Structure 1
Amino acid sequence: MVNLHNDNAHCIQLELEWLQQILKARSIQNAKPGTGPSDLLEIPAPDLEGIDAPFVELVKKYDLGPEHRFLLIMAAVPHIRPQLLDMFMSRNQQTQQIYTEFGVKKGKRASGILPTGETVMFILAGGDLVKRFKYQSLFEEESILFREKILSMGEVDPEESFLSGTLLIQPEILDIMTTGRKRNPRFGNDFPAHPLRTNLDWEDLILPHDTMQQLRELESWLRNKDFLMENWGMKRILKPGYKALFYGPPGTGKTLTAALLGKKMDLDVYRIDLSRMISKYIGETEKNLSKVFDKAEHQGWILFFDEADALFGKRTAVNDAHDRYANQEVSYLLQRIEEYDGLVILATNLKSNLDDAFMRRFQSTIFFPVPNPEERYQLWKNGFPIQAKLEEKIDLKELANSYELSGGAIINVVQHSLLMALDRPERRVHREDIQEGIRREFQKVGRTI
């Protein structure tokens, strides 16, 4: 790990020294036009061949040329070595303002300088319009750094040039450039989603054969999507990503399955509870959803939307402004889901709660039924730890045949009976404890034993 950090730091040091050379050349050309290279990117970028570091992998992955590497290090400088941009703090003696052509902005809280698109244009083009128009293409949506959401531009007023926006680097990319590894985003206002993880394994998931077969298709897509889209050319026919609907009663394994898919495929899974994201304030729901998708794009994450019917419920006629905005929220989510290049799973307890018009959006709809007696027996058997002592009169097969419970409900009963057992000197599970646990689970859904 130490060597990895050292190699990565060495790479970034080389990039910073290269940037210093470019900044020095711009300063000289400002004082003496015509001095030095006609194009500052003729100053060779560092040779990173033979260096095994995350930053080098990033450069190779996206095939970044000198112009993209320059843009990347410029965006990272305020976070790595902000003093490099101090040269742009010099003021016009007549106006006592920072030179307009520098295009820089001051940080809101810190005193450092933040580069903008105009800063990049000043460095690379100076007053040469031909070069300015040439390098302006670096900021287009199809330019690799912006297409892959590695960089973005800060918001500007409508009457301002978009190049006056601050050059922003995605935090996960900055992590790669500094620590060499990506940090997972933290739950909060900027990312209203929780990581979904499990200590269980695939063998602990008890589902019908048909359900398991459909889940294998999701596995296959996660494993082979790049080959399918690129090598077999299906990118021109298929929409990006894969959308699946998990439906069935509570406690039947929908959430666990999403977590296990991520664990098996070594992918991060994030759970988004739509019922918590929907806001009564106009535009806030879209903003909340946007934060999740903007972070997730091109990361390979699995997005798991729980209680999907909170937003995808059956639509009613548009009678007032509230109905109209609700439809806008649905349209926005559908748009972002269809554009997302990873796996999106929507989960609901009742498929009938969803509008039929939404069903065609899913590549697969997977039913999670209440387990049958044999499956329930496996759940009972797997639920109790091997250290637990059960009364001889406890017959797990008889429990499985007699009581129709979901996997989640069975685990609740197991937990209750184990806690009761731990309070006894002999630490033995009694049948009465199991019966009480079952009674409680039935009571939750208005049933009696």
Structure 2
Amino acid sequence: MKSPINHEHSSLIKTPINEKTEIINPLLHSNTVNHNSLNEEMKWLQSLIEKRCKELFLEDDIELNRDYEIPEPPKSEDQSPYSITINTHQLTVLDRIILALGIASAHYPSILKTFVQIEESSNAFAIEAGGEYDKISRSFKPTFQTALFLLAGKDLSLWSQYGAQLIHGSVLLKNDLIYNRSSTEFIHGKIELDTAYLNYFLSGQKPQLDHGSYFPGRLYKSDLTMEDIILEDNVRDQIKPIGHYIKALENGFFKTDDHSFKPGFIALFYGAPGTGKTMLAGILANAYGIDMYHVDLSQVVSKYIGETEKNLEVLFNRLQGKNCMLFFDEADALFGKRSDVKDAHDRYANQEVSYLLQRIEKFDGLTILASNFENNMDDAFKRRIDISVNVIRPTEITRKALWEHYLPKNITFESNDLLQHLTKEYTYTGANIRNIMKNVAMALHDRNETRITYSLISTYLMIENEKAFGKNQSRLSPFVQKTE
């Protein structure tokens, strides 16, 4: 086969490399982030693309000289983000080719220009090199077959060797640096770099543990302290073991041979909606200086058999050993009571709960589950819970403190009687009271007034009553201002 690169050899191969090198180097040299290893990796990728593209159109092994060896990958001995990633994950040559292709596809498409030019010259090229070519944008997206092509060239034994490594699994995929979204054959999936790692390589900003679109949790940040939440005294007492656990974890208590206790800790927060279960968990994380990851059940629970467990494995594996908090809201959706087996679906659902019980016990961090009702939890799971905290509806004394807590500066109630009436007659949660006071404060700001009257607040009491108790129970308790 006649090579389309023979007549314009330097323009199709050399020129893009030289041009791109000139573009990359000024962009990546920075006073704050070392990009030398990334620069060298991109040059290595370019040289490998050049080599394989030349070989592709050589007629026989004599002309090829049987030179299937790839150029030696550059050393990664500095402390740049890219070198740290290579060394931390102990990347193989196959991993490095995949990662380099992902970076080129995401940020340096000119490195892949040779693929575009040869694709436009020979339709047969895509059969060996893989990749997806877009005629409209004249762009090339490498696939895992592209990585095999660059590594193995025309050597079928090397194709088998590296193909077996891919089937075994790449550390890049296991740690969500690279994604393969293909629902068909793995080898034809596009190599997609996680954007958080691209930012890390370029800016030095280390990815958070919740990076990636497939991770079913998000970092929950709170700047609130224990002074910002109104709790019953017995609730404050019940949460003290959480502090003891975090300190024990930090002080190496679970690394000694003096006991047989497992390092994980499970707490259940249960109570009516709006009582502050999520807020309390966030405050505890902030108070003890640990990260809290809020689990998104919509990304965890799946109707497909085995998918829920797979999603949870991503979660637990990523956070194992990271001294952080996992927070499951509406946890009874995952850890609910097992049912009598009536069909195959029930049998699988029960197996799913059994898996969760075993997997959560292996997690070596703090897990907090939130539920509206304690009795909704599976009995076997409740026995594994270290502490159970009833975040009860606030008592009358606590409700008074909440009304005063959410009272903005320079704003007053028209009388103490109104405050007493609100405290006594409405069994609101902290969330209910916060919503009402927020609306009242905005109304007063609009009117340029500073006094909360019953006629003003009654509108928002009605709105909150309908939300909290339903329209049938949304009537207001009459308020009569006492006369002197």
Q: Superposition pairs for residues 69-88 of structure 1, below 5 Å? A: 69-88=96-115
Residues 243 and 344 in structure 1, CA contact (< 8 A), matched pair in contact too: yes
1-structure distance, mates of 2:161, 2:344 = 46
Change (3 A) 1:366 1:382: same
Counterpart of 2:230 in structure 1: which amino acid? Answer: I
Q: Superposition pairs for residues 292-331 of structure 1, below 5 Å? A: 294=314, 298=318, 304-320=327-343, 323=346
Change (3 A) 1:14 1:441: same
Counterpart of 1:23 in structure 2: which amino acid? Answer: I
**Superposition TM-score, scaled by structure 2 size:** 0.66
Match of 2:429 among 402, 406, 411: 406
Match of 2:193 among 165, 169, 173: 169
Match of 1:249 among 241, 259, 272: 272
2-structure distance, mates of 1:286, 1:341 = 23
Instruction: Deviation per CA, 1:381-422: give whole Å up to 9, x if none.
Output: 322223223445359689768865432233244335545655
1-structure distance, mates of 2:413, 2:40 = 66
Change (3 A) 1:420 1:170: closer
Q: Secondary structure at the match of 1:366?
A: strand
Counterpart of 1:148 in structure 2: which amino acid? Answer: N
1-structure distance, mates of 2:93, 2:253 = 31
Residues 219 and 261 in structure 1, CA contact (< 8 A), matched pair in contact too: no
**Unaligned runs of at least 5 residues, structure 1:** none
Change (3 A) 1:343 1:428: same
Q: Superposition pairs for residues 37-186 of structure 1, below 5 Å? A: 39-40=69-70, 43-47=72-76, 49=78, 53-64=80-91, 68-88=95-115, 90=118, 96-98=123-125, 100-106=127-133, 111-128=138-155, 135=162, 138-139=165-166, 143-155=170-182, 157=184, 162-181=186-205
Q: Secondary structure at the match of 1:298?
A: helix
2-structure distance, mates of 1:430, 1:243 = 46
Name the residue aligned to 2:237. Answer: 210
Name the residue aligned to 1:17. Answer: 43
Following TM superposition, by how much is the alpha carbon of 1:352 offset from its aligned partner in structure 2, in angstroms?
0.8
Change (3 A) 1:34 1:214: farther
Change (3 A) 1:142 1:338: farther
Name the residue aligned to 1:352. Answer: 375
Following TM superposition, by how much is the alpha carbon of 1:218 offset from its aligned partner in structure 2, in angstroms?
6.6
**Superposition TM-score, scaled by structure 1 size:** 0.70
**Unaligned runs of at least 5 residues, structure 2:** 1-27, 478-484
Change (3 A) 1:173 1:407: same
Residues 82 and 201 in structure 2, CA contact (< 8 A), matched pair in contact too: yes
Q: Secondary structure at the match of 2:100?
A: helix
Instruction: Deviation per CA, 1:262-313: give whole Å up to 9, x if none.
Output: 5554646445355x9878xx53x97689678758962668654332334544
Residues 417 and 429 in structure 1, CA contact (< 8 A), matched pair in contact too: yes
1-structure distance, mates of 2:136, 2:349 = 37
Change (3 A) 1:316 1:292: closer
2-structure distance, mates of 1:250, 1:54 = 44
Residues 28 and 35 in structure 1, CA contact (< 8 A), matched pair in contact too: no
Counterpart of 1:367 in structure 2: which amino acid? Answer: N
Residues 272 and 303 in structure 1, CA contact (< 8 A), matched pair in contact too: no
Name the residue aligned to 2:393. Answer: 370
Q: Secondary structure at the match of 1:69?
A: helix
Instruction: Deviation per CA, 1:84-136: give whole Å up to 9, x if none.
Output: 3344464699x952264434344698553333334333323335566556645
Instruction: Deviation per CA, 1:218-247: give whole Å up to 9, x if none.
Output: 7558x749x788x7799x9958x7654321
Change (3 A) 1:17 1:424: closer
2-structure distance, mates of 1:382, 1:91 = 68
Aligned residues: 431
What percentage of residue pairs aligned between the two structures are identical?
Answer: 29
Residues 149 and 170 in structure 1, CA contact (< 8 A), matched pair in contact too: yes
2-structure distance, mates of 1:399, 1:92 = 76
2-structure distance, mates of 1:391, 1:92 = 79
Q: Secondary structure at the match of 2:33?
A: helix
Q: Secondary structure at the match of 2:239?
A: helix
Residues 151 and 168 in structure 1, CA contact (< 8 A), matched pair in contact too: yes
Residues 224 and 286 in structure 2, CA contact (< 8 A), matched pair in contact too: no
Residues 394 and 430 in structure 1, CA contact (< 8 A), matched pair in contact too: no
Q: Superposition pairs for residues 233-244 of structure 1, below 5 Å? A: 243-244=266-267
Change (3 A) 1:293 1:110: farther
- Superposed CA RMSD in Å reads 5.2
Counterpart of 1:18 in structure 2: which amino acid? Answer: W
Name the residue aligned to 1:382. Answer: 405
Residues 149 and 297 in structure 1, CA contact (< 8 A), matched pair in contact too: no
1-structure distance, mates of 2:245, 2:293 = 14
Instruction: Deviation per CA, 1:63-96: give whole Å up to 9, x if none.
Output: 5466543331122221122343344464699x95
The worse-fitting range, judged by mean Cα deviation, of 242-251 and 135-144 is: 135-144
Name the residue aligned to 2:19. Answer: none
Q: Secondary structure at the match of 2:200?
A: helix
Change (3 A) 1:310 1:121: closer
